[in-house]
Amino acid sequence: MPDNDTQRFSAGLRVLAVYAISIASAFALILAVIALMGYDVVRAFLTLVTTSFRSAFGFQETIKKTIPLIFTTYAFTIPFMIKFFNIGGWGQMIAGGTFGAVIGLTLAPLGLPAIVMVPLVLMFGAAGGALFAWVAGYLKADHEINPIISTIMLNFVAFYLLNFVATAPPFKDPTAGHPITIPLPGSATLGFLAGIPVSIFFALGSIAFVYVLFKHTRLGYEITSVGQNMNAAQTYGINFRRTIMVTFLLGGALAGLGGALEIMNIHGKLIEGFAKTSGAQFGIFGILTSLVVAGNPAGVPVAAFLMSVLLVGADSLQRTMQIPVEMVFVSQAVIVLLIVIFRTRLLGRSA
């Protein structure tokens, strides 16, 4: 084995060790707390990690969470590649769902076929997410405003926009007490294959898109090199401003697409809280998921799936053992902190 390979092999082992140590210590911590609260630890652990795999339903639920999570994880990951924080994944997802619903409901009386409606709703969804992210990118690029603040402020704007669309005529469902719209026309919805939402194909498509973008295109290469060394990249003629805008637009468009897919495939209408799962926003879980893989786009699909396994386990813990679902949410934040710490400690690299 040449030296290079040996080095790569031992580096790989160390990365594995980091994850093993972090996850083991986080689980030890969670289970200790669960034990202190007086619950059956063994049963809690088994519920947490095996619910997804014990029944077809469990697995379908896991995939249902994985799909939107992949989109919001990319929404954080892509701007994070040039060291900017897009905390706006949830607002961009909400904007995507809202824009998609508005176009779908507006065009409903025309009775257009699915071949026209589905792409239209998806395009509007992606545009809605991209628009919100564009504002944050613009405020950073031209006015030096920290995206952490701008994206959060825009989240609330998106939230009230959804609330407005879902509670005002003409789209409001007059019989509902909760902010919710009338159903989308059938031609603007997507179905299920063996209990798996068809939106999985769009998730797979976006995984392929992100992979090709970063492996095989000049744009992806520019983003990666700006992330590695901002000054050098500028010296070699990469337009930094454009790179900011592109990463935010891509991230926002993907979150928006994810939002449109949720309302088309899972809910069939726009409903307040559609971008939430297990007690928190997909956008928030997306940040955690992205930090788990150190903002490396290649790791996103697997990490999103494993995160969803934990979330499905958490839902089940709440149902069967009355352990609050927030317990797992808190634990995930702790796992992420531990992974970040161990990674810095053992591999000497931050983030």
Residues in contact with other proteins by CB under 8 A are 37, 85, 87, 135, 139, 143-146, 148-150, 152-157, 160-161, 163-164, 167-168, 279-280, 284, 287-288, 291, 324, 326-327, 329-330, 332-334, 336-337, 340-341, 344-345, 350-351
Residue type present at position 321: M
* Burial classification of residue 350, based on how many CB atoms lie within 10 Å of its CB (0-12 exposed, 13-18 middle, 19 or more buried): exposed
Shortest distance in whole angstroms from residue 291 CB to other proteins: 6
DSSP state letter for 174? T
**Cβ-contact 86, 136 below 8 angstroms:** yes
Shortest distance in whole angstroms from residue 141 CB to other proteins: 12
Shortest distance in whole angstroms from residue 17 CB to other proteins: 17
Which CB, 108 or 136, lies closer to other proteins? 136
Extract the tokens encoding 123: 């395009």
Which CB, 85 or 305, lies closer to other proteins? 85
The rounded distance, in Å, linking the Cα atoms of 188 and 112 is: 9
Residue ranges with strand state E in 171-275: 192-193, 196-197
Which CB, 91 or 197, lies closer to other proteins? 91
User: Residue holding tokens 């063994």?
Assistant: 42
Shortest distance in whole angstroms from residue 337 CB to other proteins: 5
Which CB, 59 or 85, lies closer to other proteins? 85
Which CB, 120 or 294, lies closer to other proteins? 294
Q: Residue 107: which residues within 8 A CB-CB, separation 6 or more?
A: 117, 120, 185, 188
Which CB, 107 or 139, lies closer to other proteins? 139
In this structure, how many other beta carbons lie within 10 angstroms of the beta carbon of residue 230? 15
Q: Which long-range contacts (CB under 8 A, 24 or more apart) does 39-47 make?
A: 39/321, 39/323, 40/321, 43/321, 44/317, 44/321, 44/323, 47/313, 47/316, 47/317, 47/320, 47/321
Look at phi and psi of residue 344 and say left if phi exceeds 0, alpha if psi is from -120 to 50, else beta.
alpha
Extract the tokens encoding 4: 């290079």
The rounded distance, in Å, linking the Cα atoms of 336 and 329 is: 11
Which CB, 188 or 284, lies closer to other proteins? 284
**Cβ-contact 130, 256 below 8 angstroms:** yes
Which CB, 97 or 185, lies closer to other proteins? 97
Which CB, 15 or 340, lies closer to other proteins? 340
**Cβ-contact 129, 253 below 8 angstroms:** yes
